[in-house]
Amino acid sequence: MRVTVIGAGSWGTALAIHAAALGHDVRLWARESDLVAEMRETKRNLRYLPEGRWSENLTPHDDMREALADAEVVVLSIPLQFVRSLLQQYGALVPACYCVGTAKGIETATGKLEHEIVHEVLPGLDMTRYAALSGPTLAAEVALGMPTSAVVASNDEATRKILQQALSSEKLRLYRSADVLGVEFAGAMKNVIALAAGMVDGMGYGANTKGTLITRGLAELARLGEALGGARKTFMGLSGLGDLTTTCMSPRSRNRSCGEFIGRGDSLAVALEKTGQVAEGVWTARAALDLGRKHGVSVPITEGVCAVLEGTVSAKDAVRGLMERQLKEED
């Protein structure tokens, strides 16, 4: 198939490498002309993902019209906060095709997920051909061919099956789901919990603290996700528990790393600079807290993360606040 990946960050590049290795004709679009020139010369993305070998059928582009021409599958791999503006700029060029969303965030201004933004901005797109792709998929490990699994979610069974077959391999095994909202929300919310996990690491706490945080974070994610209309089994699966534990544990995780810098005492601005790439959880936290309040759902970890990010409490005071909450039954 002709596959166009929009966004040459680490995850977009990894997906392009993966799809090209499967034999698809892959075009990888980046806004920066100098990055595209460098990728064409070196056959690598030295700026964002030096790992992984490129196939000859992967070509970088900085011209969106060329990148999208005759595409059968378009993969959106840009930070969620920029999806709306990019589609507003280039949406008219998107052909009738399958559209795969991979962003793991919630739009700060609206509280919306990627499928909702796509539907709003591209009213002509057949949403039965839209799918969300998410799971424990750290970009460098996928580019290196380390085995993992993920979920492809669509409200159309045929779309789920076609994309599952087109993008699965013995190194990236895809499962099907009909829960687009749940898959996208889980991917977004786990980044907020991963920021908290990084703060725990940065403060020097141990495995007990991390295990507690991940477990209670999963409960928080599932509570709010169900209130929004997601399915509990989604949150216990690859795009929920699987992605959450991977992101909270791995030193490769941008959100965990950003949180670790904050836990060590760095300001948010310094932590983001040291992280080097977008940490979606920073922008998702406030949107998730607003959704929790709107739906009457308790999200204490998210609330603590927001307070730390906004500078109203220290990371240690946020942990203390969680431990001193009123005692209750485990949910």
134, containing H or E segment: strand 130-134
**DSSP state for residue 49 in the 8-state scheme:** B
Catalytic residue among 190, 233, 274, 294: 190
Residue 73, Ramachandran bin (φ over 0: left; ψ between -120 and 50: alpha; else beta): beta
Closest C-alpha among 122, 114, 121 to residue 185: 114
Q: How far apart are the first and last CA of the chain?
A: 46
73, containing H or E segment: strand 73-76
> What is the rounded distance in angstroms from the CA atom of residue 303 to the CA atom of residue 291?
11
Closest C-alpha among 290, 99, 321 to residue 192: 290
Q: Does residue 190 carry a catalytic annotation?
A: yes
Indicate the SS3 state at residue 213.
helix
Tokens 């998730």 locate to 288
The sign one gets for the Cα dihedral 71, 153, 82, 273 is: negative
Q: Cα separations (Å) of 3 from 20, 50, 159?
A: 9, 21, 15
Q: Exposed/middle/buried for 159, CB within 10 Å: 0-12, 13-18, 19+? A: buried
Work out the angle between the directed axes of helices 254-263 and 268-275 (0-180°, nearest 10): 140
> What is the rounded distance in angstroms from the CA atom of residue 28 to the CA atom of residue 13?
7
Strand duo 130-134 + 25-29: pairing: unpaired
Residues labelled as active-site residues: 190
